């Protein structure tokens, strides 16, 4: 009887029973409301990526829809060789300000590739080697100091690294290699490497550290030395993760603006020499957006460059994510 | 290979990888050394509190410090609620195999990889041309641009989107560090999910969330490319009077002094002073964040 008393109360006294029920319902409604708000706010990330693409593309749209803009520039004039003066061989020129604006993107692509190439050649081996050292060879105490210290390099604003490349590295490199231009692809690329190394290092070190300890123990138990274990067992096992690190670094290198803007010399020349001044896609946007007529051809072309950058980095990031997923599956498979 | 040969190769490779690590740390030390050596003599109370004079060749950098601080503050106010709530959704609310959560994660990863200059273009195309001009059409007299031009608030919002992934990743890590038992205990005592979140999970995750905020501030304070077209100005006679004014910025100040100064040698001391202030600011913030994170991680490892 004592047990069924609350039920009795529920049945007998409707007004007394209503309050726990409705308060329970009110609680549920409030909980559902909170969950809904949080879920909606969580969509901001998705919305941001979509809006970035849509609104950068929107400003580039006049290239394809506005006849006034089409008179000055179209896809052919952006990518194919053009004859600018009678009797000269066709060429690629980026010279958006002048009597005949020239919008060939080839010099900018070549410049971006040159700078990215130099930075990757420098940053990939250094970043991976430092990661291998941290993960496989360094004593524990050293490891605990080394990782945050190298990650601090990533915390230096790129404008400060650009300043360092411009004021200090350019002078050293010129006296070391005798460049005819003080600011060139090598200076910009090595300056850029300063931001790429921490990216490659962090992701690669995480991948190496995630390789199951059992693999190392098996290798050592079979008589392999520590370096053999590191280079023949751990590094191959972590390969997709390390590859993801390189791809992420590459994406970062293509899009980095301030270092290149300050240290590359900003001359849009079609040349493969690393000693020439170069101009990259992001630096072009940063340097020229301040002087364009809003809504004009030049303005639309700069936004078009932005869309290209967005697409390149999107593809590279997706690729890196695929590698990471493959790596995670491999590591968890080894554990099972 | 003989045992001796294997040992030699091993020592060589260890030394080589060690040399790479030393090189990276060495470059970091070199940058710090150069900036401190060049800028330390320049820092004075006057330099930090006075406005620039004599065509930027004399005086101080107070307006740039002020502009950087106000913009970063606005950015933090905008990014923290969104970032923390997104992380709460991902870690506390989304079912483990949720398609939506997977999509949010993909978007956030990609957002982190978008080049900073593209954020600048986005800020110009979306906040200024679309939102700002829209507000002008609705509220300003015809022909007057009050909102649809570069301003403090547009720069801050652009940077808020740029730093969103930083906050989400740090907050999620912080939520992960709160032991499952604490949640279970609260739920078992009759607490609802949101009460558990508010009174148990978030207080436990607070240091990690703080780390995220500090990292976002450090990142936002140093980025220049996204604010180039969205609000920064090289020189302004007055401090910004509202969030719709333009502002001066330490990073942009560095860029202009380094590249567009008519007399580089004369500008050098001022330039080094500015860089030192900017670097000290971002570096101090990063150090604090790392210190908090290391402590939280050790504690989380001990709790599990």
Q: Do A55 and B115 touch (CB under 8 A)?
A: no
State the first-to-last Cα distance of chain B, in angstroms, to the nearest integer.
45
Residues of A in contact with B34 (CB under 8 A): 164, 168
pLDDT digit string, tens, across residues B130-175 = 999 999 988 888 877 888 889 999 999 999 999 999 999 999 999 9
Distance from CA of A87 to the nearest CA of B (A): 38
HSE value, Cβ hemisphere, 13 Å, CA-based, for B163: 33
DSSP state of A290: G
> Is A32 within 8 Å of chain B by CB?
no
Q: What is the pLDDT of residue A291?
A: 83
Domain match, A149 and A22 both: no
Q: What is the pLDDT of residue B36?
A: 93
> What are the residues whose beta carbons fall under 8 Å from the beta carbon of B94, sequence distance 6 or more?
A42, B100, B101, B104
What average pLDDT does the segment B8-30 reach?
A: 92
Q: What is the pLDDT of residue B279?
A: 93
What average pLDDT does the segment B120-126 reach?
A: 95
Q: Which of A54, A304, A276 is nearest to A181 (CA)?
A: A276
Residue of B nearest to A248 (CA): B113
- Residue A35 is assigned to a structural domain of this protein: yes
> Is A153 within 8 Å of chain B by CB?
yes
Q: Do B164 and A48 touch (CB under 8 A)?
A: yes
Sign of the CA dihedral with B134 first, then B140, B143, and B149 last: negative
Which contiguous run of DSSP H or E holds residue B5? helix B3-39
Residues of A in contact with B100 (CB under 8 A): 39, 42
Domain match, A12 and A140 both: no
> Is B107 within 8 Å of chain A by CB?
yes
pLDDT reading at B177 higher than 60:
yes
Total residue length of chain A: 336
Q: Do A129 and B17 touch (CB under 8 A)?
A: yes
| Token pair of B198 as six digits | 């508010």
Domain match, A160 and A245 both: yes
- Chain B interface mutation, best of A32, A37, A163, A291, highest count of B Cβ atoms under 10 Å: A163
Q: Do A45 and B164 touch (CB under 8 A)?
A: yes
| Token pair of A208 as six digits | 């190496």
Q: Which of A120, A124, A119, A92 is nearest to A108 (CA)?
A: A92
Neighbours of B111 (CB within 10 A): 22
Count contacts between A and B (CB, < 8 Å).
268
Q: Do A45 and B104 touch (CB under 8 A)?
A: yes
Q: Do A59 and B121 touch (CB under 8 A)?
A: yes
Supply angle C-alpha A227, B19, A252, rounded to 5. Answer: 100
Residues A155, A213 contacting (CB under 8 angstroms) = no
> Is A236 within 8 Å of chain B by CB?
no
Q: What is the pLDDT of residue B183?
A: 92
Q: Do B21 and A42 touch (CB under 8 A)?
A: no
Q: Do A52 and B27 touch (CB under 8 A)?
A: no
Backbone angles phi, psi at A225, to 5 degrees: -80, 175
pLDDT reading at B266 higher than 90:
no
Distance from CA of B161 to the nearest CA of A (A): 7
Q: Do A157 and B251 touch (CB under 8 A)?
A: yes
For chain A, the domain total comes to 2
DSSP state of B37: H
Residues of B in contact with A282 (CB under 8 A): 115, 117, 225
Distance from CA of A111 to the nearest CA of B (A): 17
Domain match, A106 and A28 both: no
Distance from CA of B270 to the nearest CA of A (A): 13
Backbone angles phi, psi at A95, to 5 degrees: -155, 75
Range of the domain at A181: 102-335
For each successive 10 residues of chain A (336 residues), what is the average pLDDT? 44 53 86 94 95 94 82 76 71 78 86 94 96 92 90 91 92 86 89 95 93 92 90 92 94 93 83 84 91 85 93 92 87 64
Q: What is the pLDDT of residue A205?
A: 94
Q: What is the pLDDT of residue A12?
A: 47
pLDDT reading at B296 higher than 80:
no
Residue of A nearest to B149 (CA): A294
- Residue A94 is assigned to a structural domain of this protein: no
A274 to A113, A278, B213, B254, B292: CA distances (angstroms)? 11, 9, 40, 27, 43
Looking up residue A247, the CATH number of its domain turns out to be 1.10.3720.10
Q: Do B258 and A257 touch (CB under 8 A)?
A: no
Residues of B in contact with A223 (CB under 8 A): none
Domain match, A115 and A261 both: yes
Residues A104, A92 contacting (CB under 8 angstroms) = yes
> Is B27 within 8 Å of chain A by CB?
yes
Domain match, A153 and A228 both: yes
3-state secondary structure of B155: helix
- Chain A interface mutation, best of B4, B6, B101, B114, highest count of A Cβ atoms under 10 Å: B114
Q: In CATH, what is the architecture of B40-303?
A: Orthogonal Bundle (1.10)
What gap in Å lies between CA A311 and CA A268, rounded to an integer? 22
- Residue A329 is assigned to a structural domain of this protein: yes
Strand ranges in chain A using DSSP code E only, listed in sequence order: 94-95, 102-103
pLDDT digit string, tens, across residues B186-198 = 999 988 999 999 9
pLDDT digit string, tens, across residues B67-112 = 999 999 999 999 999 999 999 999 999 998 899 999 999 999 999 9
CB proximity under 8 Å: A 122-141 to B:
125-127, 129-130, 132-134, 136-138
- Residue A257 is assigned to a structural domain of this protein: yes
Domain match, A125 and A224 both: yes
């Amino acid at each position: 009887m004592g047990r069924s008393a609350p039920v009795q109360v529920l049945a007998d006294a409707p007004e007394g029973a209503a309050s726990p029920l409705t308060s329970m319902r009110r609680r549920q409604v409030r909980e559902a409301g909170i969950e809904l708000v949080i879920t909606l706010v969580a969509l901001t990330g998705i919305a941001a990526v979509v809006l970035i693409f849509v609104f950068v593309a929107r400003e580039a749209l006049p290239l394809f829809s506005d006849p006034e803009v089409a008179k000055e520039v179209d896809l052919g004039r952006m990518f194919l060789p053009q004859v600018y003066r009678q009797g000269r061989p066709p060429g690629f020129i980026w010279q958006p300000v002048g009597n005949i604006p020239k919008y060939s993107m080839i010099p900018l692509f070549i410049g971006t590739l040159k700078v990215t190439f130099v930075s990757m050649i420098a940053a990939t081996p250094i970043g991976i080697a430092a990661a291998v050292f941290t993960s496989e060879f360094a004593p524990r105490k050293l490891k605990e100091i080394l990782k945050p210290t190298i990650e601090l390099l990533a915390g230096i604003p790129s404008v400060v690294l650009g300043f360092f490349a411009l004021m200090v590295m350019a002078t050293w490199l010129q006296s070391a290699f005798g460049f005819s231009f003080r600011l060139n692809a090598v200076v910009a690329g090595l300056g850029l490497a300063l931001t790429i190394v921490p990216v490659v290092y962090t992701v690669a070190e995480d991948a190496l550290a995630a390789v199951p300890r059992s693999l190392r123990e098996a290798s050592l138990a079979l008589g392999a030395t520590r370096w053999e274990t590191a280079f023949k067992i751990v590094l191959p096992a972590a390969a997709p993760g390390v590859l993801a690190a390189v791809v992420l670094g590459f994406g970062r290198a293509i899009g980095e603006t301030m270092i290149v803007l300050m240290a590359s010399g900003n001359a849009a020349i079609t040349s493969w020499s690393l000693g020439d001044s170069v101009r990259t896609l992001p630096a072009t946007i940063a340097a020229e957006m301040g002087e364009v007529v809003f809504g004009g051809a030049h303005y639309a072309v700069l936004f078009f460059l932005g869309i290209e950058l967005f697409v390149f980095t999107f593809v590279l990031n997706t690729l890196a994510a695929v590698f990471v997923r493959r790596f995670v599956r491999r590591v968890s498979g080894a554990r099972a | 290979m003989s045992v001796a040969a294997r040992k030699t190769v091993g020592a060589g490779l260890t030394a080589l990888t060690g040399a790479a690590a030393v090189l990276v740390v060495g470059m970091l030390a070199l940058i710090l050394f150069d900036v401190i050596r060049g800028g330390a003599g320049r820092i004075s109370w006057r330099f930090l509190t006075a406005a620039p004079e004599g065509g930027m060749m004399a005086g101080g950098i107070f307006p740039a410090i002020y502009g950087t601080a106000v913009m970063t503050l606005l950015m933090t106010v905008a990014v923290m609620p969104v970032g923390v709530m997104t992380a709460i959704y991902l870690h506390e609310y989304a079912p483990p195999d949720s398609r939506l959560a997977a999509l949010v994660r993909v978007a956030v990863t990609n957002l982190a990889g978008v080049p900073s200059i593209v954020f600048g273009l986005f800020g110009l195309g979306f906040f200024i041309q679309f939102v700002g001009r829209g507000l002008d059409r609705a509220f300003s007299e015809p022909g007057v641009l009050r909102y649809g031009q570069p301003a403090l608030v547009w720069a801050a919002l652009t940077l808020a989107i740029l730093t969103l992934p930083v906050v989400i990743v740090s907050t999620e890590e912080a939520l992960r560090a709160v032991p499952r038992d604490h949640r279970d205990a609260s739920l078992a005592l009759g607490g609802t999910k949101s009460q558990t979140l508010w009174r148990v999970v978030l207080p436990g995750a607070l240091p990690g969330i703080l780390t995220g905020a500090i990292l976002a501030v450090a990142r936002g304070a140093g980025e220049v490319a996204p604010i180039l077209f969205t609000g920064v100005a090289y020189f302004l006679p007055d401090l910004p009077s509202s969030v719709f004014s333009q502002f001066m910025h330490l990073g942009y100040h560095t860029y202009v002094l380094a590249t567009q100064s008519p007399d580089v040698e004369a500008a050098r001391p001022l330039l080094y002073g500015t860089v030192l202030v900017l670097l000290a600011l971002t570096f101090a913030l990063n150090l604090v964040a790392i210190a908090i994170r290391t402590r939280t991680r050790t504690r989380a490892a001990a709790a599990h």
